[in-house]
Structure 1
Amino acid sequence: MNISKKMQDAFNAQIAAEMWSSNLYLQMSCWFRKEGWKGFSSWMYKQAEEERQHAMDMAQFVLHRGGEVLLTSIDAVKTSWTDAKEVFIETLAHERKVTDLINKLADVADEEKDRASQNFIAKYIDEQVEEEKNVQDILDSFSHLESHAIAHIDSKLEQAR
C-alpha cells in the first residue's frame, strides 16, 4: 500500500464529512426551492454536487494509492430554516468548519511525510479560501440590502409627514 493506514483513515473521515456537507447543501437547496427561492436553490444544489465530487475525488485518490475506502453512515442534517440569511450564516459557519477539517487532513499528511497527499490536499486548502469568501460576499449583500430597505422605509416615512 502506498498510503499509510493513518492517512487512509483521515481521508475516509474526510470523505464522510464531504458527503455530510453534500447532504446539508442538498437539503438547503430543497428548502430554498420549497420557499420559492429558485436562484438560492440552484446555487446550493451546485454546492451539494461540488461536495459530492470532492468525496468521489478523495475516494479515487485513496484507491489509486492502494488504500481502502470505507464508507460509513452519515448523520441526518437540519431540514428547515427561518429565512435565507440564516441559511447563509450557517453555510459560512459550516465552510469554516470544513476549512478546519481540511487543515487537519493536511496536518496528517505533514506528520506522515506523505508528499502525494500534501499535493492533493493543497487544492482543497486553496478552494476553502474561495468558498468562505463567496459565502461572506453573499452575507455582505444581505447586509447591504437590509440597510437599503431601512433607508427606503425611512425616506417614505419622512415624506408621509
Structure 2
Amino acid sequence: MNDRRISDNMEQLLNKQMTREAYQAQVYLSYGSWAEVNSFGGIATFLYKHSNEEREHMFKFLKYINDRGGSATIEAIAAAPVNPKNIGECLNAILQHEIDNSKEIDKIVNLAHEEKDWATFSFGQWFVKEQIEEESLIKDVIDKYNLASTATSQNHNLYDMDKDLASASQEGTLPREESL
C-alpha cells in the first residue's frame, strides 16, 4: 500500500530544510565554542542551548517526512562560518541566519498552501511561529548587547550581560501572548 502523503517537491523542500536546521545547529555550536574560548561562558551556554534546539527542529523535520510516507535524506552539512570578530558581529550574524531561515520556512508553507497539503501547512505553522520567536529573541539579545556595550563601564556591563545569558530563556515572547 502506498502511504505517501507528500509530493516529491514537498519532500525535497522539507529535506532541504531539515539539512538547514542541522546547519543552524552547527552555526550555534561553532559560535558557542568561539564565545567559550573568548571567556564568555554565559553567551556560550546560551548558544549551546540554542544549538540543541535547532537539532530538535531537524528531528521534527526528519520524523515528519518519514511519517508522511516520504524519505528523510541525510546530507552533508556545510561548515559553519568563520568565527566572528566580536559579540556584536556574532549576534548580528545569528539574526541574519534566523531571518534567512524564516524565508525558507515561508517557502514550505507557501508550497503546502499551493498544493492544498493541509497537514504540511499545519506542520509549517509551528515553524512560522517558532521563527517569529527566534527573531524576536535574538533582536532582544542584540538590544541588550547594544545597551551594555555603549555604557560607560563596558566591561562591567558585558560581564552582567554574559551572566544573564547563562540562564536566559530560549524562547521569545509573541505579541499575542503578551499581557499587561
* Both structures adopt the same fold (TM-score exceeding 0.5): yes
* Alignment partners' CA distance in 2, 1:106 and 1:76: 27
Task: Pick the structure with greater CA Rg.
Answer: 1
Deviation at 1:150? 7.3
SS in 2 for 1:149: coil
Q: What residue is the counterpart of 2:79 in the other structure?
A: 76
Report sequence identity in percent.
27
Structure showing the higher helix proportion among its residues: 1
5+ residue gaps, structure 1, are 152-161
Deviation at 1:61? 0.7
Total equivalences in the alignment: 151
SS in 1 for 2:127: helix
Measured on the aligned residues, the alpha-carbon RMSD in Å equals 1.4
Does 1:97 find its partner at 2:89? no
Deviation track 1:101-133 (CA, whole Å, cap 9, x = no partner) reads 111111111121100001111011011111111
Give the TM-score taking structure 1 as reference length: 0.89
Equivalent positions of 1:16-95 (< 5 A) are: 16-95=19-98
5+ residue gaps, structure 2, are 155-180
Equivalent positions of 1:92-131 (< 5 A) are: 92-131=95-134
Deviation track 1:122-161 (CA, whole Å, cap 9, x = no partner) reads 011011111111111111112212332279xxxxxxxxxx
SS in 1 for 2:45: helix
Which of the residues 6, 15, 28 maps onto 2:9? 6
* Alignment partners' CA distance in 1, 2:66 and 2:18: 13
- With 77-86 and 92-101 compared, the bigger mean Cα shift is at 77-86
Give the TM-score taking structure 2 as reference length: 0.80
